Amino acid sequence: MALVLGIDAAWTEHGSSALALLRVDEVGRKVIAVAPSYAGFIGLARGEPAEWRQTPSGIPIVPDLLAAATVLGGEPIDVVAVDVPMSRRPIVGRRNADRAVSRAFGAFGAAVHSPSAYRPDKPVTGMVRALEAAGYELATTRSKLPALVEVYPLAALVRLLRAGRRPAYKVSKIARYGWPGTVRERIDRLLENWGSICEALVREVGAIGIDFPERSSIRSAARLKPYEDAIDAVVCAWAGACFLDGTARPFPDDDGDAAIWIPEPRVGQ
């Protein structure tokens, strides 16, 4: 058995982050826990339900985070898969990994954002260093476990959905997708796209463990942001599982200072 912790990490201390814990064994893959914040995930290990309406921000104390994941999973984590730029050297600008992914997925509308010396900010890079200090070595090629793996949910979703274009599922972009109709109708369109993503994820990891709100309770798109983050966290965990079983590829495909791991296309895709 192996455990993968997927983290959809904000690039700033005050941004929103979500986490998903995935078990991989001879039976298959199973989502054990999902939370829309670090505090919420740590609380799950104490038997406290996660808060989805007023989600706290902030950076976790990494030993507390790993301890909570161990309690929830029953053993130490093997792979931590994080959607945040990481490198063995200080990041000062666009990396070879960013260029490689953008070349491969730019035509799908899934090029990556450029990191800088200031973004991700110091608290976020400090979390990465704390994970490394806890024994998770940054993986730029196939490596021993435990491993720290950089993933990119948007490109992973292009592969998962076999899409010719990045999926329209971001809450912040709902007014820019060009969808006609009222705000409520646009929310319905967004939820429809989420349904397609979740159906594809279920085929990979089983039930995804996110208790979505009743449609009648959703009065604004902003209410949905924690759930979007949680979907991305499950995608991160799935990409980490693909790293684990050898069905993900590093970009660039060499032993450099950084690599972004993207699931490989399915046979026939």
Q: For 254, phi and psi rounded to 5 degrees?
A: -155, 175
Provide the H-helix boundaries in the chain.
Answer: 38-44, 62-73, 96-105, 122-133, 153-161, 183-205, 225-245
B/e letters for 155-185, b = 16+ CB within 10 Å, e = fewer, are bbbbbbbeeeebbbbbbeebeeeeeeeeeee
* Mean pLDDT over the full length of the chain: 94
Task: Confirm if 264 and 247 have CB atoms less than 8 A apart.
Answer: yes
Q: What pLDDT does residue 267 have? A: 60
- Sequence length of the chain is 269
Contacts of 126 (CB under 8 A, 6+ apart): 59
Mean per-residue pLDDT for 238-267?
92
Mean per-residue pLDDT for 135-158?
95
Look at the alpha carbons of 226, 229, 235, 237 in this order and tell me if their dihedral is positive or negative: negative
| Largest pairwise CA distance in the chain | 51
Mean per-residue pLDDT for 32-42?
97
Residue 178 binned pLDDT confidence (cut-offs 50, 70, 90): confident
Q: What pLDDT does residue 269 have? A: 46
Q: Does residue 250 sit in helix, strand or coil? A: strand
Task: Confirm if 13 and 124 have CB atoms less than 8 A apart.
Answer: yes
Residue 209 binned pLDDT confidence (cut-offs 50, 70, 90): very high
From CA 187, how far away is CA 4, in angstroms rounded?
31
| pLDDT reading at 79 higher than 80 | yes
Q: Which of 10-14, 33-37, 169-173, 174-178 has the lowest mean pLDDT?
A: 174-178
How many percent of the chain have pLDDT more than 90? Answer: 88
Q: Which of 69-78, 166-175, 225-234 has the lowest mean pLDDT?
A: 166-175
Task: Confirm if 259 and 140 have CB atoms less than 8 A apart.
Answer: yes
Give one DSSP letter per residue of 65-76, joined into a string. Answer: HHHHHHHHHSS-
Domain boundaries, the chain: 2-263
From CA 97, how far away is CA 24, in angstroms rounded?
27
Mean per-residue pLDDT for 164-183?
91
Q: What pLDDT does residue 169 have? A: 95
- This model's pTM is above 0.75: yes
Alpha carbon of residue 62 to chain centroid: 17
